[in-house]
Amino acid sequence: MYPFKLKAATKDYVWGGIKLKEFYSKESISDVIAESWEVSCHPDGPSIIENGQYEGITLAEVLEANPRYKGTNSEKFPFFPILVKLIDAKSNLSVQVHPDDEYALKNENQFGKTEMWYIVECEKGAGVYCGFKEPVTKETLRKSLVDGTVTDLLNFVEVSKGDCLFIEAGTVHAICGGCVICEIQQNSSLTYRLYDYGRVDKTGKPRELHIDKAVAVTDTSKVVSPNAETRDMGDGVTRLATCKYFTTDKVVLNGSHILVAGEDSFVTVTCVEGEGEFVYNGKRYSFATGDTYFLPAGAGEVEALGNAQLITARV
């Protein structure tokens, strides 16, 4: 048992940019990286362990062989519960919505998606669409998709570095261009697109929309508050979000901080700024901006040293 350094799977979606490659040390044969799946046991993009005994093996394979590394809190889920991403939105993502667990299990044989966004950096005036300005009907929503005016109905939230938004399943949303985001979400790739600005994919075909399903799962009454209610936990820790799927914190590291991976849960650690090292059982594990580690449940205390901002997640 030791801190696993993870190599992310990367995605080159049409709206991606170059920041993850140039400033966050992500590797890809493509010039564009839209997303890096930092902590992933999802078959569409599994993380690979880069160090130690398990080097070259996927995180999913190691957790399958050593389920205790997930912790007792993960036992209530049929598979690894979360997915951690870095996202570089050079241009707007599609207007989309994710179903809740009940709908997704019944219709897609997988879980839905509730997620949290931490704004790592952003351009001036950048923002996100999140929920509606005021409640609408399903008929109004569908008509706006036909005539291309859906964004007029949506709540645009201008964001700043360090902001945090919690996006429950059923909330229409879109990350807009100029944002780099750390996203913690349920372990699901289930997304329904409502509107995509008329864009085409690499083959020149319009990207697929999922109008009927999207309208069916959208909470049209939801008017979303711009930011999650964060809480100062002391010792440089800010609680960003908590729900039945994950709890996520920001740790401002200025010297030393103790992270604890108890028997109840693993801890994921993504460095979004700065550098440092972990000290565990007398060994040192360096990290820098863009690096992500997985601390197995039961590892106990892991000391972080350096000057950095870390986003952590656990179940």
Question: How would you classify the pairing of strands 9-11 and 300-314?
Answer: unpaired
- Is residue 156 within 8 A of residue 208, CB to CB? The reply is no
Other Cβ atoms closer than 10 A to 27 = 11
- Is residue 96 within 8 A of residue 192, CB to CB? The reply is yes
Active site residue 314: no
- Is residue 137 within 8 A of residue 220, CB to CB? The reply is yes
Query: Which token pair is 267?
Result: 């801890």
**Torsion over CA: 245, 24, 8, 301 (sign):** negative
Q: Which of 142, 193, 207, 239 is catalytic?
A: 193
Q: List, by residue number, the catalytic residues.
A: 193
